[in-house]
């Protein structure tokens, strides 16, 4: 080791020791904390050109990783914020993405498997605290009233404590409960700039399950919900800019299933076998998306949920480089009246 290297290391050690020592001083701790709080506070809302789609959950229940929340997609414009499904851990992603819950337009549920509704109570509470000016509207196919009534009942005491504690002005009692809206296929929500269409998909025995299409300023995004690949879905998605489709990698599941059988875990092996008949085989989607003139196919609600980059590569086996695997907090920007799709990160 030459003299220069020794001097550099000595300075580095002294710097670390001084930094550690300084951080023990209350004034320095308070300064760092204040900087941290500033960085976490929601930044001023930036103008949105066209439509943004944010992935607030890309996992399925099969497989367990904290890197991915369960199913949740956000559609954001200058005037709207829609959440499509709110699975477990998605409220954390919604907060990380700093989505403007104070102006949440509505939540659309595709169906009532727990991995699509588990975050409903937190989203209702967080948007109420954020200053939402109306009751949270929850849309979904038949069954949505049962789900909403159950959440409202389970959170009734929580709401009453919070209004008593923080006051009627901050948390008005009347805006606490969410409201259910039962949907059929067709146009399910519309204003002068946004049209939302619902269509029935195939996720038996979870009947009915719906997918949704959002059209805004010449741009469009379709979210499949949980389903097999169906002709009806690709007809509804015809010409869309983005299609988020649930996907199941059969080659991975086959290996998992055999491993479970070999290790005597026959109940898990059967569960794995059962899910294959109600999610879309990843290898069937790319050709169908091309035939429907969809500009970008994005796979989400990944079955099984990839744990790392290696399993993501395995998941994509048999697909071209044009297909994208969704990641939590990924943002897709669709500028108004254009063809561009910008993906971050
Ligand atoms: Zn499902
Ligand atoms: Zn699901």
226 Cα: distance to centroid of ligand 2 (angstroms) = 6
**Average pLDDT for runs of 10 along the chain of length 345:** 72 70 77 70 74 97 87 97 97 97 98 98 98 98 98 98 96 98 97 97 95 98 95 97 95 89 90 86 93 98 92 93 96 96 96
Query: Which ligand is closest in space to the CA of residue 61?
Result: 2
Residues 160 and 135 in one domain: yes
The DSSP result for 285-341, as a single string, is HHHHHHHTT-SEEEEEEEESPP-SHHHHHHHTTTS-TT-EE--TT-EEEE-TTS---
Indicate which ligand has the atom closest to the C-alpha of 112.
1
Ligand nearest the Cα of residue 209 is 1
Sole residue written with tokens 């910008």: 342
- Give DSSP secondary structure letters for 194-239: EEEEEEEE--TTS-SEEEEEEEETTEEEEE--S----HHHHHHTTT
Q: Is the bond into 235 cis (omega within 30 degrees of 0)?
A: no
Do 200 and 95 belong together in one domain?
A: yes
Whether residues 12 and 136 share a domain: the answer is no
93 and 71, same structural domain?
A: yes
Å from CA of 340 to ligand 1 middle? 32
The per-residue pLDDT for 40 is: 57
Count up the domains in the chain and report the number.
Answer: 2
End-to-end CA distance of the chain: 41
**Ligand of minimum distance to the alpha carbon of 202:** 1
The bound ligand whose nearest atom lies closest to the alpha carbon of 59 is: 2
Specify the pLDDT at position 46: 76
If phi > 0 it is left, if psi is from -120 to 50 it is alpha, else beta; for residue 339 that is: alpha
Ion ligand 1 contact residues with beta carbon within 5 A: 113, 226
Q: What is the pLDDT of residue 41?
A: 58
Q: What is the CATH number of the domain that holds 171?
A: 3.60.15.10
- Same-domain status, 10 and 127: no
> Same structural domain for residues 22 and 90?
no
Residues 247 and 120 in one domain: yes
Residue 87 CA, ligand 2 centroid: distance in Å: 8
- The answer on 198 and 95 residing in a single domain is yes
Q: How far is the CA of 37 from the centre of ligand 2 (A)?
A: 35
Tell me how far the alpha carbon of residue 114 lies from the centroid of ligand 2, in angstroms. Answer: 8
Distance 113 CA to ligand 1 centre (A): 5
How far does residue 18's CA lie from ligand 2's centre (Å)?
A: 51
**pLDDT recorded at residue 268:** 87
Same-domain check for residues 23 and 104: no
Q: 300 CA to middle of ligand 2, Å? A: 10
The Cα-based distances of 310 to 313, 316, 327 in angstroms read: 5, 10, 14
CA of 209 to the centre of ligand 2 (A): 11
Question: Which pLDDT score is estimated for 253?
Answer: 87
pLDDT at 3: 72
Residue 206 C-alpha to ligand 1 middle, in angstroms? 7
> Which residue shows structure tokens 């995004």?
221
Q: How far is the CA of 303 from the centre of ligand 1 (A)?
A: 11
Q: What is the pLDDT of residue 44?
A: 55
Residues 126, 121: Cα–Cα separation, whole Å: 9
* Same-domain check for residues 164 and 23: no
Cα-to-centroid distance, 173 and ligand 1 (Å): 33
Q: What spacing in Å lies between the alpha carbon of 118 and ligand 2's midpoint?
A: 11
List 211's β-bridge partners, or say none: 199
Q: What is the pLDDT of residue 141?
A: 98
Does one domain contain both 267 and 162? yes
CA angle 243/248/250 to nearest 5° reads 140
How far apart CA 241 and CA 237 sit, in angstroms, is: 9
Q: Which ligand is nearest to the CA of 57?
A: 2
Asked whether residue 19 falls in the same domain as residue 127, the answer is no
Residue 316 corresponds to which tokens in the numbers above?
A: 């994509």
Please tell me the distance between residue 139's alpha carbon and the centre of ligand 2 in angstroms.
Answer: 17
Structure tokens belonging to residue 125: 């509470």
Asked if 56 and 118 touch (Cβ cutoff 8 Å), the reply is: no
Give me the domain span that covers residue 113: 47-344
């Amino acid at each position: 080791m030459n003299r220069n290297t020794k001097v550099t290391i000595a300075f580095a050690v002294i710097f670390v020791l001084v930094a550690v020592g300084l951080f023990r001083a209350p004034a320095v701790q308070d300064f760092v904390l204040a900087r941290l709080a500033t960085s976490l506070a929601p930044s001023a809302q930036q103008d949105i050109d066209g439509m943004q789609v944010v992935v607030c959950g890309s996992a399925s229940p099969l497989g367990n990783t904290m890197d991915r929340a369960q199913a949740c997609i956000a559609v954001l414009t200058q005037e709207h914020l829609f959440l499509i499904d709110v699975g477990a851990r998605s409220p954390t992603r919604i907060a990380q993405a700093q989505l403007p819950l104070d102006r949440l337009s509505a939540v659309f549920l595709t169906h009532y498997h727990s991995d699509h509704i588990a975050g409903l109570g937190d989203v209702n509470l967080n948007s109420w605290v954020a200053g939402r000016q109306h009751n949270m509207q929850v849309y979904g196919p038949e069954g949505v009233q049962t789900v909403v009534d159950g959440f409202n009942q389970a959170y009734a005491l929580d709401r009453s404590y919070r209004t008593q504690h923080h006051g009627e002005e901050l948390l008005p009692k009347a805006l606490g409960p969410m409201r259910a809206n039962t949907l059929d296929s067709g146009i399910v929500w519309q204003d002068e700039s946004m049209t939302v269409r619902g269509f029935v998909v195939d996720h038996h025995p979870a009947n009915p399950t719906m997918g949704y299409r959002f059209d805004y300023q010449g741009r469009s995004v379709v979210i499949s919900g949980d389903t097999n690949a169906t002709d009806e879905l690709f007809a509804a998605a015809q010409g869309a800019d983005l299609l988020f489709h649930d996907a199941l990698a059969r080659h991975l599941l086959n290996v998992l299933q055999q491993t479970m059988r070999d290790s005597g875990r026959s109940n898990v092996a059967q569960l794995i076998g059962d899910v294959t008949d109600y999610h879309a085989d990843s290898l069937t989607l790319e050709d169908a998306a091309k035939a429907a003139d969809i500009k970008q196919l994005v796979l989400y609600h990944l079955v099984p949920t990839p744990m790392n980059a290696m399993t993501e590569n395995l998941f994509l086996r048999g697909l071209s480089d044009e297909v994208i695997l969704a990641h939590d907090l990924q943002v897709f920007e669709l500028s108004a009246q254009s063809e561009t799709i910008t993906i971050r990160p």
